[in-house]
């Protein structure tokens, strides 16, 4: 039986399963590790085809390169899949080199948004790609099985697999992804028996948290975002019954009571949200589970929020982005600061916490835009915030603009939205933007009013420890 190894490699922690943002968790203010569902899906698919699977999140365990190499020697896998990000790719490729030195005959696959319909120059820029056999830039849930089967049974079938790159006569060949699969219900649930679910904790409850994909695709056109590019403009939804069955499996089989409903915009289909909330409310899980989701301010209404709260929604992650209506328009967010304030007020009315996301550093922005966003952050007064700096990821509209209008082809490899910021996109320097980000985060989180508010809602010593941990992390990341 062939053995397949699926990993998040050791090193700095990145959100490797979140293709649209790929954030540097270590440098963030309040972001947490999320379960490696991408690997879980791949594991479930491969096991159905009778492959032996080894899965490990080395970064989540704070494991070392030595641990990975020891596992390779012990397990002797035939294939290894690594989930990578734009910010981590340079370090990940160094790890691949070590893997090949340890086991030269292993087949190496890299999976990540960076390889979605890649440009030719990407292959020239990345060192050590000679140690890589395949790249997956499409959705691995639909690609992994056919890729491994083609590798072992008939390599001529590789040309039929969209969303991959492979070597032919020593040169990279890319099969561009043109068609997204609509039938999400056909996928098995992620294999959580191979995942260390205890690694992924909701800091608010100190309980295990599972991620459940509810939809793929984004019908919006924010010019900085990868979602509609790598997942398509059409929103492809799972049925509410399928989602609910996965919730029940997590609850009854794995004892998981906290959930992150993962989609680009959870509330884009109002009726689907209402149907899922009613399924939960009218079931034996009513009052026993807690969930969070990601949304936009122009897809929420009061009746929906009331029902969401009743079914267990405790927090919404919302991309407010800016305090400047001009910026919101130019970035093609197509929302307004008035909508931001209205939705924040409604969430507070129903006791739903807010994780507010803000984005600065667009090429039209100056100090005035930064001050407007800072004021807006304090006017909204969310429970948690993060301030990101624009990164022109490959294939995004802002990336294409740099090439077409400014004749700049940005080398973004190794850069992210927090710690390592590109210096030639914004008219404001990288140092100015990083200083602004750190200053806003310090001023927001270190307010006596905010600290007292947090202390008042702590209900256990374990949650207090979580707050202290994230507080110290925020101070460390914003003072140095």
Answer yes or no: is 192 within a domain: no
Q: What total number of domains does the chain contain?
A: 2
In terms of Cβ atoms closer than 10 Å to its own Cβ (0-12, 13-18, 19+), residue 245 is: middle
What mean pLDDT is reported for the chain?
A: 93
Domain assignment of residue 55, given as a range: 3-175
If asked whether residues 8 and 74 sit together in one domain, one would say: yes
Please give the pLDDT value at position 458. Answer: 87
At 58 the pLDDT is 98
Backbone φ, ψ for residue 330 (5° rounding): -70, -30
Residue 220 and residue 168 in one domain: no
Whether 113 and 23 have beta carbons less than 8 Å apart is answered as: no
- pLDDT (mean) for 223-240: 94
Whether 305 and 380 share a structural domain: yes
What CATH number does the domain containing 207 carry? 3.80.30.20
Q: Which of 182-191, 252-261, 387-396 has the lowest mean pLDDT?
A: 387-396
Phi–psi pair at 190, nearest 5 degrees: -55, 140
Are 350 and 440 part of one and the same domain? yes
Closest CA to 376 of 330, 341, 428: 341
Establish if 407 belongs to a structural domain.
no
Phi-psi region of 83 (alpha: psi -120 to 50; beta: other; left: phi over 0): beta
Size of the chain, expressed as the number of residues it contains: 480
Is the model more confident about 412 or about 368? 368
Averaged over 245-252, what is the pLDDT?
A: 98
Evaluate whether residue 417 is within a structural domain. no
pLDDT at 8 > cutoff 80:
yes
Are residues 100 and 244 located together in one domain of the fold?
no
pLDDT of 100 higher than 90:
yes
Residues 255-264 pLDDT 10s:
999 999 999 9
Q: Are residues 128 and 233 in the same domain?
A: no
pLDDT at residue 314 is higher than 90: yes
* Range in 120-124, 151-155, 332-336, 407-411 with the lowest mean pLDDT: 407-411
Same domain, 163 and 301: no
Span 385-412, average pLDDT: 83
User: Do residue 288 and residue 145 come from a single domain?
Assistant: no
d(CA 324, CA 161): 44
Q: Which residue has the higher pLDDT, 419 or 281?
A: 281
DSSP string across 167-205 = EETTEEEEE--------GGGSPPP-TTSS-GGG-EETTT
Per-residue confidence band for 338, with pLDDT thresholds at 50, 70 and 90: very high
The residue behind tokens 């649209």 is 20
pLDDT in tens, 53-83: 999 999 999 999 999 999 999 999 999 999 9
Within this chain, do residues 22 and 110 fall inside the same structural domain, yes or no?
yes
Strands 236-237 and 134-136: unpaired
Give the pLDDT of residue 246.
Answer: 98
The whole-number pLDDT of residue 424 equals 62
pLDDT more than 70, % of the chain? 97
Q: Which residue has the tokens 């305090």?
A: 323
My answer on whether 339 and 264 are in the same domain is yes
Given a cut of 70, is residue 423 above it in pLDDT?
no
Cβ neighbours, 10 Å, residue 275 = 15
């Amino acid at each position: 039986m062939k053995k397949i190894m699926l990993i998040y490699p050791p090193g700095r922690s990145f959100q490797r399963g979140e293709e649209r943002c790929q954030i540097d968790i270590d440098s963030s203010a309040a972001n947490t590790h999320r379960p490696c569902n991408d690997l879980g899906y791949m594991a479930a698919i491969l096991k159905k085809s009778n492959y032996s699977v080894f899965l490990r999140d080395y970064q989540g365990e704070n494991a070392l390169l030595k641990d990975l190499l020891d596992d390779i020697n012990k397990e002797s896998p035939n294939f290894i899949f690594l989930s990578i990000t734009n910010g981590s790719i340079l370090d990940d490729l160094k790890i691949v080199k070590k893997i090949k030195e340890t086991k030269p005959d292993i087949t190496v696959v890299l999976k990540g948004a960076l390889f979605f319909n890649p440009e030719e120059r990407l292959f020239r820029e990345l060192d050590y790609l000679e140690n890589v056999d395949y790249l997956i830039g499409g959705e691995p849930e639909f690609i992994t099985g056919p890729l491994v089967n083609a590798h072992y049974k008939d390599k001529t079938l590789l040309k039929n697999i969209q969303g991959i790159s492979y070597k032919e006569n020593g040169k990279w060949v890319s099969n561009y992804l043109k068609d997204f699969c609509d039938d999400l219900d056909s996928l098995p649930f992620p294999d959580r028996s191979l995942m260390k679910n205890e690694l992924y904790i909701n800091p608010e409850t100190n309980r295990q948290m599972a991620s459940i994909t509810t939809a793929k695709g984004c019908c919006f056109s924010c010019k900085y975002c990868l979602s509609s590019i790598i997942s398509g403009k059409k929103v492809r939804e799972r049925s509410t019954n399928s989602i609910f069955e996965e919730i029940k499996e997590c609850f009854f089989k794995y004892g998981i009571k906290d959930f992150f409903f993962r989609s680009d915009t959870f509330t884009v289909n109002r009726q689907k949200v209402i149907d899922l909330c009613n399924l939960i409310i009218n079931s034996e899980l009513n009052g026993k589970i807690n969930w969070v989701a990601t949304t936009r301010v122009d897809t929420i209404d009061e009746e929906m929020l009331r029902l969401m709260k009743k079914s267990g929604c405790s927090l919404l992650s919302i991309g407010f982005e800016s305090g400047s209506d001009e910026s919101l328009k130019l970035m093609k967010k197509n929302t307004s600061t008035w909508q931001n304030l209205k939705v924040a007020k409604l969430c507070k009315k129903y006791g739903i916490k807010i994780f507010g996301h803000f984005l600065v550093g667009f090429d039209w922005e100056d100090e005035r835009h930064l001050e407007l966003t800072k004021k807006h952050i304090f006017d909204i007064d969310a429970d948690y915030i993060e301030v990101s700096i624009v990164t022109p990821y490959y294939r995004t509209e802002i990336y294409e603009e740099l090439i077409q209008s400014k004749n700049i082809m940005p080398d973004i490899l190794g850069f992210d939205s927090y710690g390592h910021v590109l210096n030639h996109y914004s008219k404001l320097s990288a140092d100015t933007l990083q200083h602004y980000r750190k200053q806003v985060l310090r001023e927001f989180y270190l307010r006596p009013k905010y600290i007292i508010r947090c202390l008042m809602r702590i209900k256990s010593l374990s949650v207090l420890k979580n707050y202290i941990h994230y507080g110290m992390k925020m101070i460390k990341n914003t003072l140095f």
